[in-house]
Amino acid sequence: MSDMRALPVGDRALLVELGSGEEAEALHAELLRRRAEGTLPAVQEIVPAARTVLLDGLDDPARFAKWLAGWEIPPLASGARSAIEIPVRYDGPDLAAVAELWGVRPDEVGRIHSSTVFRVAFCGFAPGFGYLTGLAERYAVPRRATPRTAVPAGAVALAGAYTGVYPRSSPGGWQLIGSTRAVLWDHARVPAALLTPGARVRFVPEEL
């Protein structure tokens, strides 16, 4: 990838910046593939994010950066993994506001959202909170001007072009369009997170 940049992060880590979220996801997938194959040097954490992948706990980040520059990174394979289905009711308090931003009727928000195949680009904010990409850029919405002090667990929410599901009750500024009874995070389960980076996701409307 021509516009890949490896940025130094202290003396034990490397932040690899890419031209797009898709390229970051492709690099993340390739890193996981090489790790599974046993050809990746020891690294403590591989953390994908919006445009970057962080490699933390490397013995020699500079050497890794040089090696990485010569990689051929295959584009993301689509449809290789089956999608995780999340049951949802489109009953969020911000449904009308989102419909207005999208220029559609409130009942169309759920139709558009549930006909989209999402991918977990990365996790953050809270354990098990995935940033899901898939909605077209024209459906991007701003965060709420005033964040809520308590968003309930299972709230299905939008911010920018991302969709997220709150794993537990917490403060939050995303626009709430629905709710799910799916358990996003259970530390007694393996894996604890329902949504892990790279997973494909579909929202399936439930009867009200």
Partner 1 sequence: MTDRAFAVVRAGALTSVQDHGRSGHAHLGVPRSGVLDRPASDLANRLVGNPAEAAVLETTLNGCAVRPRRAVTVAVTGAPCRVTVDGRPAAWGAPVRVAAGKVLELEHATGGVRSYLAFAGGIACEPVLGSRSTDLLSGLGPAPLTDGAVLPLGDPSGPPVYADAVPWQGPPRELVLRAGPGPRADWFTARALHTLATAVYRVSAASNRIGLRTEGPPLERAVHGELPSEGMVLGAVQVPPDGRPLIFLADHPTTGGYPVIAVVRERDLGAAAQAPPGTPIRFVPTRTR
Does 60 bind partner 1 (CB under 8 A)? Our answer is yes
Quick note: the x/- pattern for partner 1 over 152-181, rule CB under 8 A, is: ----------------x-------------
Nearest residue (CB) to partner 1, 99 versus 123: 123
CA distance 83 to 118: 8
CA distance 153 to 159: 17
Rounded to the nearest 5 degrees, what angle is found at the Cα of 96, between the Cα atoms of 106 and 84?
Answer: 65
Nearest residue (CB) to partner 1, 122 versus 203: 122
Does 122 bind partner 1 (CB under 8 A)? Our answer is yes
User: Which tokens belong to 79?
Assistant: 């449809």
Neighbours of 80 (CB within 10 A): 9
User: Could you tell me if 205 and 195 are in contact, meaning their C-beta atoms sit under 8 angstroms apart?
Assistant: no
Considering the complex, what minimum distance in angstroms separates the CB of residue 205 from partner 1? 27
CA distance 92 to 83: 23
Quick note: the x/- pattern for partner 1 over 9-38, rule CB under 8 A, is: xxxxx-x-x---------------------
Binding residues for partner 1 (CB under 8 A):
7-13, 15, 17, 44-54, 56-57, 60-62, 122-129, 131, 168, 187, 191-193, 196-197
